[in-house]
Structure 1
Amino acid sequence: MTPRPLPSRRLFLGMAAATPLALTLGTGTAQAATSAYVMCYFTESTSLGEGTDYGLHLAVSQDSLNWMPLNQNNPLVTPTEGDLGLRDPFILRKQDGTFVVIATDLKGTDWTYVSQYIHVWYSTDLRTFTGYHRLKLHDMNTHAWAPEAFWDAGRGQYAVIYSAVNDSGHNVIMVNYTSDFLTASAPQVFFDPGYDVIDGDMAVGVNGYNYLYFKKDQTLVGARSTSLDPGSFTEFTTGVAHGGTEAPTLVKSATSSTTWYLWGDTYTPNGVFYAWQSGDLASGSWAALDQKTYTQPLNSKHCGITTISSSEYANLVAKWGTPTWNRLKSYNYPARYVRHSNFVGRIDEYPIDPPSDSQWTLVPGLADSSGVSFQSVNYPTRYLRHYDYQLQLDVNDGTSTFAADATFYRTAGLADASWASFRSYNYPTRYIRHSDFVLRIDPISSTTDQQDATFRVGY
């Protein structure tokens, strides 16, 4: 087997189009109207140093596009068997309304490590995780990468699909069936189009079709079938990609009966997520979303996304808390974030290594508590302040001049009122803006100036 750069992630949303706001779980069990989402992932930084962790991470969102990490972007639980780490986690809401979490048994990027097992946890609410064990899927001398599960109503069992190399000599999508995620049937080939495919992601029961998205030749491609039988899926789309892309994740909008999103991940450490939108899943046509509209969790890799109720969202935030830090995204360069480099304030393209260079604690203004000051997360004695109108990261010397230079008033975004702009405390005609990607304070007059001075405060 020729190892590929990274194993990847997908998602199942068992949501019939006829009931776009409710997830049917089975007789007598129905989840309340879905109005929020939870994402599971692991983290990797470019250098595989700070910001890298192969445990289970969660983030939440109310629009499925902009995400807030839970537990300060630290893992909620970490495997204690196998390779002692996970990749490609996936959350399924079971027929009884509780959750099961499954993941690849692999820590890091040693593609020579072979495990026929996947990690498994149970959870009633994603606040506690119980019953940890590994589930063996096959006896072949190959991996069991990127597992996903869905309910096969015709069989009355859950299907677990994953990427493996079988007798064909290339990666195919395999399937095992289980009732309890403790034992599983013998493996079968679920999808083998005759070429290498990985990262199967399912959308079940959408207007009479079942959809399988997967990675083919560094692009995301869809197949479909009117049944869930192994071997029944036929490719029907051309590939979409942004560079080399893997980990397709289909997400049904909770507020629209027709809108779907497709997430993909570049297969590099600290991969970049890209998203596409479709108004008709059956068309197989996807339009790239502007990066202004979505933000992935910091250092997130190979995600799975599951719908949850508003009360489940609130309970997760209550349990795990909101981040104590923020990131600031540029409005007109949305691939770039505010960071310090050699103690100079600037905007650079994500991923940023170390990631803490782009994390800020927004504290009450040093000169006026109704304003805001930007405290560095990794240099907590230093703040962004202007000097000769350029922003730099300096140690707070306790003077009134420093406090004034480091204080700004947050206003509605000059280019978009739903974003933010920051007016200088002691030069009130000037705003923080970027110029040649370096941050400074300037008077704002033109449309370009307004865009340069507008940022999204998120995570």
Structure 2
Amino acid sequence: MPAVLSRLAAMLVAACLLFTAQVLAAPQRAAAADPGYLMAHFIGEGSTNQQIYFSHSADGLNWTDLNGGGMTLRSTVGTRGVRDPALVRSPDGSRYWIIATDLCIGCGQSWGDSQSNGSRNFVVWESTDLVTWSAPRLLNVAGAIPDGRNAWAPEAIWNPETNDYVLYWATNATLNGVLKHRIYYARTTDFRTITTPQLYIDRPGTQGIIDTQIVEVPAGVGNFRYVRSSGDGQITIEGSNSILGTWTNLGNLSGIGLTGAQVEGPMWLKFRDRNEWTLYLDQYASGRGYMPVLTTNPSATSTYRLPASGSYNLGGTKKRHGSILNLTATEEARVQARWPSTAPKRLQSFNFQDRYVRHTNFDVRIDQNITGPDAQFRQRPGLAGSGTVSFESVNFPGYFLRHSGFDFQLAYNDGTGGFAADATFRQVAGLADSSWSSFQSYNYPDRYIRHYAYRLKLEPITNATGRADATFRATS
């Protein structure tokens, strides 16, 4: 019996050692059911690509484009283009903001123009649920900076020492006779009003700095509570125990072959299940978008390492300078329900089959042989009720077909019940051909979507002409 017990004990010890070795060899990963990560970003140049796009990842390294790879928010203010979005959650999780550079390269602005006389504003969206966003608004941040010529690359972090947000960004301005980009900051509680901007980061001589992002580090990891990464000719790493306090230079990433001549737009991600971080860097020089750099201690540059080949996938669109949010399970469910990969469709007229529903200057009509994004819509679950549909514009996300005074327009969803009812329809068998579809109003069930003189109306249908006018087919 003692010999048997001895052998069993030896086997148990061996099994424990094997398990321990496996744990040490590979950090414990979060269960597949754990919530993932949301990235807000832009994807390139031009008016369409310089908008807000969302991507989702379950593990922080492999990303899927939301909304079928289409934009999720569009700026209709300022330059009508946005870059470098920062995604901010309030400490209690009750409010969210997106703050972005008001800049549209290749659509009326050049790099020279934007540096010497660019927008002094940021574009701001606000939400209480991460999926229904306000209309965009402008926030002037650089107008009070002497000789401030632009405002780029906003970031924001909650500061418990002052019980508000530190909003920081780059502005090209002349100081002490030197014109260059420096980082300025202001404090705010609501991203509507800010304190007077102050100089935050300045590099010696003529060396400018444009991109910087701060991450909070938990106790027990490194010597600093906060670490920031900045694009200033290098990818410089600094540490501090106070956001507005003194920062210590900790080195850069040149040791792993990355400098500011190759990469920019640092973007932090903290893995939720372990003390490991990814610093995403935008490979702007080679035009390849983001790549991850891994570390177990953000304040120790010797721990940064390049990823193994094939260990990450950024999805179908190029990911450019953005921001990542660690999602809760509730937030993740909302985000994935709101922006599924629904294919865009055109609505073809039954009795004028060369014509399709399209918006023009936010009015809605049927026009001939329209194939572009003005005639593309994503058919969403109805805003007002189950078993219904709503039609969201592809090139103006957040804008839906809605009736007002029984005339149709493309309008921004203001989140009200009235809007939801006006933009919701029951899809029924086509009134002129049951293999097609007709769309009955949710709040005026005796009326249907129809065209009249090529304009979309909401009217009762009483004859054969009306039935043909009120019949459509969703097609690619």
Tell me the TM-score normalized by structure 1: 0.59
Query: Which residue identity is paired with 2:297?
Result: D
**Residues 35 and 254 in structure 1, CA contact (< 8 A), matched pair in contact too:** no
Q: Partner of 1:175: helix, strand, or coil?
A: strand
**Residues 34 and 308 in structure 1, CA contact (< 8 A), matched pair in contact too:** no
Q: Partner of 2:242: helix, strand, or coil?
A: coil
Instruction: Report the Cα distance in structure 1 between the residues aligned to 2:96 and 2:138, rounded to whole angstroms.
Output: 16
Answering whether residue 171 of structure 2 is matched by residue 164 of structure 1, we say yes
Instruction: Report the Cα distance in structure 2 between the residues aligned to 1:103 and 1:271, rounded to whole angstroms.
Output: 21
Go from structure 1 to structure 2 and tell me whether the alpha carbon gap of 1:323 and 1:235 turns closer, same or farther (over 3 Å shift).
Answer: farther
Identity over aligned pairs, percent: 25
- 1:366-414 Cα offsets, whole Å, 9 max, x none, are xxxxxxxxxxxxxxxxxxxxxxxxxxxxxxxxxxxxxxxxxxxxxxxxx
Shift of 1:268: 4.7
Q: Partner of 2:100: helix, strand, or coil?
A: strand
**Residues 263 and 275 in structure 1, CA contact (< 8 A), matched pair in contact too:** yes
Go from structure 1 to structure 2 and tell me whether the alpha carbon gap of 1:62 and 1:284 turns closer, same or farther (over 3 Å shift).
Answer: same
Q: Partner of 1:317: helix, strand, or coil?
A: helix
**Corresponding residue for residue 193 of structure 2:** 183
Q: How many pairs does the alignment contain?
A: 289
Answering whether residue 266 of structure 2 is matched by residue 248 of structure 1, we say yes
**Residues 138 and 186 in structure 1, CA contact (< 8 A), matched pair in contact too:** no
* Residue of structure 1 aligned with 2:131, choices 127, 133, 151: 127
Instruction: Report the Cα distance in structure 2 between the residues aligned to 1:284 and 1:294, rounded to whole angstroms.
Output: 21
Shift of 1:310: 2.5
Instruction: Report the Cα distance in structure 2 between the residues aligned to 1:299 and 1:129, rounded to whole angstroms.
Output: 24
- 1:275-313 Cα offsets, whole Å, 9 max, x none, are 111112231231000241111241221121111112322
Answering whether residue 287 of structure 2 is matched by residue 275 of structure 1, we say no
Shift of 1:138: 2.1
Shift of 1:34: 7.3
Shift of 1:323: 6.5
Instruction: Report the Cα distance in structure 2 between the residues aligned to 1:42 and 1:107, rounded to whole angstroms.
Output: 11
**Residues 184 and 200 in structure 2, CA contact (< 8 A), matched pair in contact too:** yes
For 1:300-449, what aligned pairs fall within 5 Å after superposition? 300-322=319-341
**Residues 154 and 169 in structure 2, CA contact (< 8 A), matched pair in contact too:** yes
**Residues 34 and 307 in structure 1, CA contact (< 8 A), matched pair in contact too:** no
**Corresponding residue for residue 210 of structure 2:** 198
- 1:324-358 Cα offsets, whole Å, 9 max, x none, are 69xxxxxxxxxxxxxxxxxxxxxxxxxxxxxxxxx
Shift of 1:203: 0.8
Shift of 1:37: 0.6
Q: Which structure features the higher share of helix residues?
A: 2
Instruction: Report the Cα distance in structure 2 between the residues aligned to 1:323 and 1:293, rounded to whole angstroms.
Output: 28
Instruction: Report the Cα distance in structure 2 between the residues aligned to 1:269 and 1:105, rounded to whole angstroms.
Output: 24
Q: Which structure features the higher share of strand residues?
A: 1
* Residue of structure 2 aligned with 1:105, choices 78, 102, 118: 102
Answering whether residue 68 of structure 2 is matched by residue 54 of structure 1, we say no
**Residues 220 and 264 in structure 1, CA contact (< 8 A), matched pair in contact too:** no
For 1:289-308, what aligned pairs fall within 5 Å after superposition? 289-297=307-315, 298-308=317-327
**Residues 148 and 171 in structure 2, CA contact (< 8 A), matched pair in contact too:** no
Go from structure 1 to structure 2 and tell me whether the alpha carbon gap of 1:34 and 1:85 turns closer, same or farther (over 3 Å shift).
Answer: farther
Q: Partner of 1:236: helix, strand, or coil?
A: strand
- 1:236-278 Cα offsets, whole Å, 9 max, x none, are 122341761101111111110x211111012258533221111
* Residue of structure 1 aligned with 2:248, choices 234, 240, 248: 234
Instruction: Report the Cα distance in structure 2 between the residues aligned to 1:76 and 1:214, rounded to whole angstroms.
Output: 28
Instruction: Report the Cα distance in structure 2 between the residues aligned to 1:165 and 1:34, rounded to whole angstroms.
Output: 42
Q: Partner of 2:179: helix, strand, or coil?
A: coil
Instruction: Report the Cα distance in structure 2 between the residues aligned to 1:153 and 1:92, rounded to whole angstroms.
Output: 15
Q: Which runs of 5+ in 2 are unaligned?
A: 1-28, 345-476
**Residues 43 and 270 in structure 1, CA contact (< 8 A), matched pair in contact too:** no
Answering whether residue 277 of structure 2 is matched by residue 260 of structure 1, we say yes
Shift of 1:126: 2.2
**Corresponding residue for residue 418 of structure 1:** none
Shift of 1:314: 2.4
Instruction: Report the Cα distance in structure 2 between the residues aligned to 1:68 and 1:323, rounded to whole angstroms.
Output: 13
Q: Partner of 2:136: helix, strand, or coil?
A: strand
Query: Which residue identity is paired with 1:200?
Result: T
Instruction: Report the Cα distance in structure 2 between the residues aligned to 1:228 and 1:172, rounded to whole angstroms.
Output: 17
**Corresponding residue for residue 151 of structure 2:** 144
CA-based RMSD: 2.6
Instruction: Report the Cα distance in structure 1 between the residues aligned to 2:251 and 2:34, rounded to whole angstroms.
Output: 29
**Corresponding residue for residue 412 of structure 2:** none
Query: Which residue identity is paired with 1:251?
Result: L
- 1:167-212 Cα offsets, whole Å, 9 max, x none, are 1422211101111111111111111132321211001254342111
Shift of 1:322: 3.0
Q: Which runs of 5+ in 1 are unaligned?
A: 1-20, 22-32, 326-459
Tell me the TM-score normalized by structure 2: 0.57
Shift of 1:315: 2.1
**Residues 268 and 278 in structure 2, CA contact (< 8 A), matched pair in contact too:** yes
Instruction: Report the Cα distance in structure 1 between the residues aligned to 2:339 and 2:285, rounded to whole angstroms.
Output: 29
Query: Which residue identity is paired with 1:66?
Result: N
**Residues 150 and 158 in structure 1, CA contact (< 8 A), matched pair in contact too:** yes
Query: Which residue identity is paired with 1:181?
Result: F
For 1:9-88, what aligned pairs fall within 5 Å after superposition? 35-44=35-44, 52-88=48-84
- 1:205-229 Cα offsets, whole Å, 9 max, x none, are 5434211111121x32211112112
Answering whether residue 90 of structure 2 is matched by residue 94 of structure 1, we say yes
Go from structure 1 to structure 2 and tell me whether the alpha carbon gap of 1:136 and 1:83 turns closer, same or farther (over 3 Å shift).
Answer: same
- 1:52-74 Cα offsets, whole Å, 9 max, x none, are 52211101111111111111111
Q: Partner of 1:55: helix, strand, or coil?
A: coil
Structure number with greater CO (CA < 8 Å, separation at least 6) is 1
**Residues 77 and 136 in structure 2, CA contact (< 8 A), matched pair in contact too:** no
